[in-house]
A and B are shown apart, each in its own frame.
Chain A
Amino acid sequence: MNDWIWPVAAYLGQGLLVTLWISLLTVLLATVLGLLIAALSRSTLSLARLIGRLYVEVFRGVPSLMILLFVFFALPQIGLRTGPLTAAIIGLGLWGGANIGEVFRGALNSIPYRQEQGARALGLSATEALVFVILPQAFRRALPPYVGQLTVLVQASALTSVVGVSDLLGSARQMIERLAYVGAGGSHAIEIYLGVLSIFFVISYSLTALASLIERRLRV
């Protein structure tokens, strides 16, 4: 009989909500950090550029799971009691910020200096040149790789199950264990994992499709 399906699906649905919530907050945090890092890289202060550089090198140089675990175990040590969910979002956000920062920085640097010079020669201030000429072009260039990073972050959210978050993957594992323990029809691991896999695929694929749609609209 297939009467295991509906309770499992309902439980996975809750996990999916957690996954979406983690992804959303991680993306927001990573995007804000990424903008900050890109801004640092354009700073006239060499110390600011160095800080941005170091941040990127450090966080891109270590596995995301390491950062997640580090934040999860380190924050309580310095007196910050957070749940696994908060630790997961901070950890993944810090990691994603470095990658998204690189995307933004790369897009800004890909706009040739000639564009800035042309704008300044027309009498635009440095800020106006940035706002009206450089950023609109950099935004278009950044969009495809930025969405690529979003799908990476959505997928990385599955790591949070390691610190005990009941996200989509975490819920799936709990269900499989429970079904195996109950015994009746086996663990149904194949069906459940295929379901989880399809959901991740649909989310990533939709994001990518959205990106190429926007890309065509914006004349990248």
Chain B
Amino acid sequence: MSTGPAAPFLDLRDIRVSYGSNEVLKGVNLSVRQGEVVVIIGPSGSGKSSLLRTVNMLQPVTRGEIVLEGEDLLSGKQDVNKVRQRVGMVFQHYNLFPHLTVLKNLTLVPRRVLREPTAESEARARELLAKVGLADKVASYPDQLSGGQQQRVAIARALMMRPHVMLFDEVTSALDPQLVREVLNVMKDLARSGMTMLVVTHEMSFAREVGDTLVFMADGVVVEKGHPADVLDRPSHDRTRQFLSHTDA
């Protein structure tokens, strides 16, 4: 299988996930093109996080197929850790390593696991930190930074692995309102640079402005998807309408 222009970059087919007897993803299908920004919205508990976690194999699936760049991730032949290096993920709670400086947070995996020379990984780290506006914070520890700064470090850290696709799980939900913008701006730049992104968020203006596709999930299924403006302004399902009436879209 090759990744021709027609083949999707990332293809999720009939993804099912259960916690015990509780099925939380009930057959999700989603195709993502290279460079596409897919924004996923939906009520709490609808399975958005579980879906993102399946893509970087943090979440075992009970059924379904995940094809990334033509490779079947669930074939059992893939090196999980290699796949995760290609799939960057940023979480709501940053998950920075508090015992390491900002610089070391970024260079840990390249140096220890990929065996990159220190000078090389540090140079790339500084470049990425400059890109997210934190060039002056290399020597700081995470607890010396604001939430927005920590989240930008987390994004830079994920980018260190040169991922082919980035997953964002409510990365601004834990931030004070005035810090949200600086993180969204970094994500916007990333989208403009052509990164393929799956973004779970409550920020409808971001969905409208940056998203190529908007997916509305509820109760473990994709209820509706389409161009963001279409879904937001002319939802075709009651469930979507109902959800959107509680947001400021």
A interface vs B, CB < 8 Å? 114-115, 117-125, 128, 132-133, 136-137, 140, 219
* Residues B112 and A128 in contact, CB atoms below 8 Å apart: yes
**How far apart are A176's CB and chain B's nearest CB, in angstroms?**
50
Contacts of A114 in B (CB 8 A): 91, 93, 95
**How far apart are A115's CB and chain B's nearest CB, in angstroms?**
6
* Residues B91 and A115 in contact, CB atoms below 8 Å apart: no
Option from B81, B83, B95, B97 in Cβ contact (under 8 Å) with A125:
B81
* Residues A122 and B99 in contact, CB atoms below 8 Å apart: no
| Nearest B residue (CB) for A120 | B58
Option from A121, A136, A140, A219 in Cβ contact (under 8 Å) with B58:
A121
Query: CA separation between A180 and B112, bound complex, in Å?
Result: 67
**How far apart are B61's CB and chain A's nearest CB, in angstroms?**
16
Task: Tell me if A's interface is mostly helix, strand, loop or mixed.
Answer: helix
Interface flag for B48 (CB, 8 Å): no
**How far apart are B200's CB and chain A's nearest CB, in angstroms?**
14
Interface flag for B113 (CB, 8 Å): yes
Q: Mark B64-106, 1 if CB is under 8 A from A, else 0.
A: 0000000000000000011111001101011111110000000
| With A117-B58, A132-B108, A136-B99: A123-B113 Cβ-Cβ less than 8 Å | yes
Query: CA separation between A107 and B112, bound complex, in Å?
Result: 24
Residue in A114, A117, A122, A140 whose Cβ sees the most chain B Cβ within 10 Å: A122
* Residues A122 and B91 in contact, CB atoms below 8 Å apart: no
Option from B56, B141, B158 in Cβ contact (under 8 Å) with A219:
B141
Interface flag for B184 (CB, 8 Å): no
Query: CA separation between A117 and B93, bound complex, in Å?
Result: 11
Q: Mark B53-64, 1 if CB is under 8 A from A, else 0.
A: 000101000000
Interface flag for B157 (CB, 8 Å): yes
Count: A-B pairs, CB below 8 Å: 57
Query: CA separation between A169 and B10, bound complex, in Å?
Result: 73
| Nearest B residue (CB) for A125 | B81
| Nearest B residue (CB) for A122 | B109
**How far apart are A76's CB and chain B's nearest CB, in angstroms?**
48
| Nearest A residue (CB) for B158 | A122
Contacts of A136 in B (CB 8 A): 99
Given A120-B58, A121-B89, A132-B112, 20 more A-B residue pairs with CB atoms under 8 Å apart are A114-B95, A115-B97, A118-B95, A120-B84, A121-B56, A121-B88, A121-B158, A122-B84, A122-B157, A123-B83, A123-B85, A123-B109, A124-B81, A124-B109, A124-B113, A128-B112, A132-B108, A133-B97, A136-B99, A140-B99
Query: CA separation between A37 and B58, bound complex, in Å?
Result: 28
**How far apart are A126's CB and chain B's nearest CB, in angstroms?**
10
Contacts of A118 in B (CB 8 A): 91, 94-97, 154
**How far apart are B96's CB and chain A's nearest CB, in angstroms?**
8
Query: CA separation between A115 and B109, bound complex, in Å?
Result: 14
Option from B89, B95, B99, B154 in Cβ contact (under 8 Å) with A137:
B99
Interface flag for B161 (CB, 8 Å): yes
Option from A117, A123, A132 in Cβ contact (under 8 Å) with B95:
A117
| Nearest A residue (CB) for B111 | A132
Query: CA separation between A133 and B98, bound complex, in Å?
Result: 9
| Nearest A residue (CB) for B141 | A219
Contacts of B157 in A (CB 8 A): 122
* Residues A115 and B113 in contact, CB atoms below 8 Å apart: no
* Residues B161 and A123 in contact, CB atoms below 8 Å apart: yes
**How far apart are B71's CB and chain A's nearest CB, in angstroms?**
16
Residue in A119, A121, A124 whose Cβ sees the most chain B Cβ within 10 Å: A121
* Residues A122 and B85 in contact, CB atoms below 8 Å apart: yes
Query: CA separation between A123 and B56, bound complex, in Å?
Result: 9
Contacts of A125 in B (CB 8 A): 81
| Nearest A residue (CB) for B81 | A123
Residue in B83, B91, B96, B97 whose Cβ sees the most chain A Cβ within 10 Å: B97
| Nearest A residue (CB) for B82 | A123
